[in-house]
Amino acid sequence: MSVMSRDPSRFDVLSEGDEEQLCSIVASLEQRKYAEEEVLFTQGDGATTFALVNGGQFEIVRTDDAVQRSWALVGPGSILGEMGVLRQRPRVATVICRQPGEVLLGDRTQLVALIETPGVLDRMQLLITTRLAEDTEPVLVATRDSAFAFRPLVPRDRDAFVAGLKALSNRSLYRRFFTGGQPSDRIVDRLLALDYIDHFAWAVMSPDSGQGVAVARYNRERSDRTIAEVAFAVADELHGRGLGTAMLGALAVAARTAGITRLRAEVLTDNAAMRAVLDKVGAIWEPVEPGVVETLVDVAACDRLVDGATAAALGESVTKIFTATNLGLTSSAPSPDNSTAPHPVTRHETST
Ligand SMILES: CC(C)(COP(=O)(O)OP(=O)(O)OC[C@H]1O[C@@H](n2cnc3c(N)ncnc32)[C@H](O)[C@@H]1OP(=O)(O)O)[C@@H](O)C(=O)NCCC(=O)NCCS
């Protein structure tokens, strides 16, 4: 193997760490070649090794109730199998080599050493948080006359998310973004750049079609980390059926788990529907600029918007995602002071 293939900067999660320290750990990993169709990890097996992919292509496949689903194809620069190793749990998926390639294999001690290298923890946490979010089972949330499946919005929702935005009426787009037309690709990138702690979003699916019908997000403020700004969008044909109200309840569960105690909403003054939703939890409105009002409501006031069992199920799924900020490697748990680095927030782009 060439020296280049052990260059830590080749691997996404190691690209910002202390180079010297990373080089010596990466040099200690075991090199292994894989042939096409050879299995790297098997779902259900104990997880003792992780892999840095140096070449080739590997497919992550998950089997549930005898149905096999392809999760992802990964190539050079990726890390595989780290979650099971860190959490000391069985493999949640099988990894099969699809194009011959080589990997660097390491054990838990080597993985912990990598993560403890300055600069690596934040990237690793974000990667694991996203993977945990992708692995979250939807929770069914009852509305006035129906029920909808709530799960975290994840990067692979991008196409459906963009299609959902395209299907919104101009009036809804204007109320959501305070400006006409579709949001740019850059804004869509930001809307999908979730870390699930400072920037979180529920994707809401129709239980019948499985189609996405709404998104509710919060974005933690930098100046006061106990406050987050919320933003909602519901497919036009479903307005007025209680979904926005249920979304506020579900968002409050996630926010509370992340140590947020108040939610801010900036709303167009004539947006009666959004104001009506927030009025249910005691909103007091203040003008902020011509045509725009804002309110700050207590997370605790949103408790009664979803029933206790649903809130517990939503809370459990969010807590599982947050475990990535407490991998047992640091003393940090998600709290207002030590959450992972926030993404840049531009008003009316991610937060309105
Ligand atoms: C705002 C929005 C998220 C609300 O979602 P929703 O699913 O319609 O919300 P709900 O059905 O739970 O509640 C809407 C409430 O507004 C009330 N409402 C609707 N239009 C109203 C009006 N013109 N005047 C007074 N109340 C009105 C409804 O009666 C309902 O109250 P109720 O539950 O007491 O009957 C949705 O309308 C939407 O996506 N709008 C476009 C985007 C947007 O405005 N986002 C908010 C900016 S952050």
Q: Tell me, using a 6 A CB cutoff, whether residue 239 lines ligand 1.
A: yes
Write out pLDDT tens, residues 218-276. 999 999 999 999 999 999 999 999 999 999 999 999 999 999 999 999 999 999 999 99
The angle at the Cα of 138, spanning 157 to 277, to the nearest 5 degrees, equals: 85
Please tell me if the CB atom of residue 240 comes closer than 6 angstroms to any atom of ligand 1. Answer: yes
Task: Please tell me the predicted confidence (pLDDT) of residue 330.
Answer: 38
Is-above-0.95 flag for pTM? no
| Main-chain dihedrals φ then ψ at residue 92, nearest 5 degrees | -95, -5
In this prediction, residue 326 carries a pLDDT of 54
173 CA distance to ligand 1 middle (Å): 14
Query: Residue of the nearest CA to atom 22 in ligand 1?
Result: 272
- Give pLDDT, residue 338: 32
Helix segments in 90-182, DSSP class H: 108-115, 121-134, 158-167, 170-177
Mutate to test the pocket of ligand 1, among 243, 269, 274 (most ligand atoms within 8 A of CB): 274
* Residue 219 pLDDT: 97
Q: Which residues contact 34 (CB under 8 A, 6 or more apart)?
A: 40, 56, 58, 97, 100, 101, 102, 103
Residues with pLDDT less than 50, the chain: 1-4, 328-352
pLDDT of residue 152: 97
- Nearest residue (by CA) to ligand 1, atom 6, is 244
CA of 277 to the centre of ligand 1 (A): 6
- Model confidence over 118-145: pLDDT tens digits? 889 888 888 888 888 988 899 999 999 9
Domains and CATH numbers, the chain: 4-119 (2.60.120.10), 139-325 (3.40.630.30)
Minimal CA–CA distance to 8: which of 79, 56, 60, 108?
79
Ligand 1 centroid – CA 232 distance (Å) = 10
Q: Which atom of ligand 1 is nearest to the CA of 248?
A: 12
Is residue 253 in contact with ligand 1, taking CB distance under 6 Å? Answer: no
